[in-house]
Structure 1
Amino acid sequence: MDMTTTIDDKTSKALGPLPAGHPAVRKGKVGVLLLNLGTPDGTDTKSMRRYLREFLSDPRVIEMPKLLWYPILHGIVLNTRPRKSGDNYKKIWNTERDESPLRTYTRSQAEKLAEALRDLPDVIVEWGMRYGNPSTADAVEKLMAQGCERIVMFPLYPQFSATTTATASDQLFRALMKIRAMPSVRTVPAYYDEPVYIEALARSIEQHLAGLDFEPEVILASYHGIPKPYFEKGDPYHCHCVKTTRLLRERLGMSDKKLITTFQSRFGAQEWLQPYTDKTVERLAKEGVKSIAIVNPGFSVDCIETLEEIAGENAEIFHHAGGKNFSHIPCLNDSAEGMAVIEAIARRELMGWV
């Protein structure tokens, strides 16, 4: 029976008889929507400007009155930053697919999750971005077209922040506001202290270190930073990051001198969460530390902030300041360990719906 043009018996009984000429109805499915931050469509200035405009116009990302921020954004930032950002993206661009690694990995995560959930025939997996393409609205539309009456929204951010997780929820509900027959929705909570997540990180670190020809004296757990005022207003992000590192230390049997928390990717003049990753890398090298490694527990997949900023810029900073051995530990990405995390949490959040 062709499900694209007919209604199955179970759904038909629930709906009752339909009037003549009623359009085909597909119902009874549950969607799992993986959402990541976002990506430009290309490295050219126009694509970068479009992406940065959407990203930096989000009031949860930049908490400044529009009257103050928009002249800076449109008068300075969008006229200077796109070219520089585009050049940085070119260094890590997936030229085979002509897309960013973040898009490549997020798509793969969705495909692998769909395969892992094949025992749940009523579950459909889609993926989207908060900023850029494929958009959250497009992903929701695809799920609705396939008969999803319920959606589990899975923001791919282990630690909660209003600048990331909350913006994903905002965008999802903006899309739902335009849908008359709106589906029921669940949102996956932050999973920074989930045992399956800590175990996956620990194993990935152990495997990576086992393949090095040196032993790092210090390992930095580097998280994307947020402005300090956001933390002071109650954003739990800092606490989530610190706990992630503590749990990792306990699992790996490392001291607080061996595995330390730092914060990267600050933007603008105001103070952000400290200690800063780049300043710490420079300080360690100047103090005589010759070997370090950096892991990024707050990123579900490798992206511009990990591949270019950490593996590129920070490696250069370390070597320039006198360091010798530097290694970036890849994100979980679509590895077996990373997929174990996503699958376990998705199955838990689907309970009661499938």
Structure 2
Amino acid sequence: MTGTLDLTEFHDELRTVARNVLAAADRDSAPPWTRVSTSGWLGLEVDEEFDGAGAGFAETAVVLREYGRAAARGPLPAVAALAVPALGLVDPGSVRDRLLREAVAGATVPVLVLGGETLGVTPFRLDSGVEGPVLHGETSFVLDAPGADRLLVPATRSDGTVVLVDVDPGAGGVEVTDQPVLDATRSFGRVVAEGAVVAADTVHAFRDGASALRHLADRAAVAVACDSLGLAEAMLDTTVAYVGVREQFGRRIGSFQAVKHACADMLVSISVSRRLVAAAVRNVAEGAPDAAVSVSMAKSHVCAAAVDIAGKAMQLHGGMGYTWESGIHVYLKRATLNRSLFGSPTEHRRRLAQRYVSPAGVRPRACGPRRS
């Protein structure tokens, strides 16, 4: 895929297929996992030698955006955006290669144990034991952990190196507890490891542990931003369609000035969000030095904007917007969860503000003219 035209056409085709597949799914259930795997979405970023498509994060982002637009259920975001890329960051080997192929084929559902409240750190440690390596630690709000076949746990060794441990959720010393949230379209779990003994060949070394954790945390934040962008676009489309047919006082409400301004504000916010998400996806995919900056910009703005847009959509639908049948509540709940997942807007803005903090003992020079 070379050239802007070819890439655009490919993205359009990918977007169309994803939209059709997700639209065919029942509102209260996930699309069939076999349909997801045969669509090739799980292996978009995997090399062809492992039965993948050899594409990149930009292509995965297209599917993630459609998942948000449809408020779709299922573990694809956790597998395609986090678990499979995590396997790509460790040293190859027979065990890892087999798991990677199985994940791409949809034969197994691996989930990366990355707490929804953490930013680039791991609370797990891997100690030496008589019977083999021993895993300790716990974290909460792990996306799709309750339905995982395998848990991929980043852990720190005693020497400070970071490794990826492949754990069976049903193994002794491992406990996965469902954590209900207001958003019914997704599942989260608390993962606890209390002296879980793991096989040596299931411990995979990252090529660069600290960098890998930061990269995966950035991917998680951008994935949520893509989801929020998609659901915000869905809310705008739904609202514009509704105000174009709903009549009040003998006029379509879309002709009222206040309604026009509200829809215009939604469009402006989405337009900014598209630019921010595109920059974050590109920088993360390229491993740009300032990737963290664009990630925090996208996560803080897009996820906050999506909550406002969903709330405004509910308001513009009038009394109908507050009913269960309208379905807008599904998007509002999802957007609200996205806002705090993998870093709240406040946390990411604090991260951005660190760029302007002067070193200790150095006072920043004042701007403006000097007084004589």
TM-score if structure 1 supplies the norm length? Answer: 0.22
Q: Which has the higher contact order (CA 8 A, sep 6+)?
A: 1
Which structure has more helix as a fraction of its residues? 2
